Amino acid sequence: MSRRVLTLLLAGFFVLALGVVGAFRPVPYVVLSPGPTENTIGDIDKKPVISISGRQTYPTSGALSLVTVAYQGGPAAQIDLLTALRGWIDPTVAVVPQETIFPPGRDAKKVDEENAVEMTNSQDSAKAAALNELKIPYERVVTVLSTEQGKPADGKLQKGDQINSVDGKPATDSQFVGDTVKAHKPGETVTFNVTRGSQKLDVSLQPIASKDGKPLVGVLMQEKFKFPFDVTINVGDVGGPSAGLMFSLGILDKLTPGEITGGKRIAGTGTIDTEGQVGPIGGIAQKMVGARDSGATVFLTPADNCAEAMKAVPEGLRLVKADTLHDAVLALDALRTGKGIVPACEAG
């Protein structure tokens, strides 16, 4: 064998070896794929996803399924280059930069904790939105979920404190509390009136500047509602706020005569606020694949996700635009009865 051929063979071997080694090196990307679906008017592990006591309920049929996105990767379990390459050629998944899911300073545990909080808040907002749709009154309170160590609220506000007012103005919701704090300059005093146990207390805090210069006190809040009857939601390990719309529809279906699905398998997604406004979500392409794989033929889509969804809608899945909970109810009525307008998504 000539020296030249030997050199070429050795060079080729080293290139191949480097390629193999490189393929298994960790890369800062996350793979998003279709996650499980859960029927909000069905059961998980023989337990109802939505349980209602203290109020008359009615039979349901079909499915009102929430959809999820599963992810692979993250700071503590980075994927390798080969996994990322497989994801890039698979049309049912997405490969995104790691910081999209895990911004700097937020590890997997922190993200999971935040997703759990968002899910709890989403469930409460969904209950409130459903009751608003049915014109059933309820009370709303803002409570302290936790405080950040070393921040102004640390040691002064406590988990479970009910925030009654900020600077003398009623704390109508967590957004109002946050906006009132942000209206101050760092170092100025902001006064919280809270109920702690049987006591009402005034707590004075001096906000500090965050990294982007905005004032903060370091408190994580949760909106709680006092409903006239019990609504319990059981979804296991699912996190995040994107199932709000489907929770509200499931509650409505159980509280009203008739079956709003018409026996069809309906899936959908979208955040929801207490007034029933449906907001956009991430991972719409993967969620539609999961919906179609579960047998759904109709997919309720937030209006702001419609253009993106139209580019990747699976065959056999009808997209129905949902701006509000009320719009979604009307659309399902029209689908069931064949009367009225079913708002469709349009390409952007």
Catalytic residue among 151, 156, 264, 287: 287
- Per the CB < 8 A criterion, the answer to whether 269 and 242 are in contact is yes
Only one residue has tokens 């007034």, namely: 275
Residue 55 CA to residue 228 CA, distance in Å, equals 9
Handedness of CA 22, 24, 26, 30 (dihedral sign): positive
Structure tokens at 27: 């890369």
Residue partners of 257: CB distance under 8 A and separation at least 6 = 58
- Which member of 242, 254, 264, 321 is catalytic? 242
| Alpha carbon distance, N-terminus to C-terminus of the chain | 63
Phi, psi (deg, nearest 5) at residue 64: -125, 85
Work out the angle at residue 21's Cα, subtended by the Cα atoms of residues 16 and 24, and round it to the nearest 5 degrees: 130
Which residues are 190's β-sheet partners? 205
| 214 is an active site residue | no
Let me know if 174 is a catalytic residue.
Answer: no
β 265-268/63-73 pair status:
parallel
User: 251, 126 in Cβ contact below 8 A?
Assistant: yes
CA dist 109 to 32, 113, 266, Å?
18, 6, 33
Catalytic sites, residue numbers: 242, 287
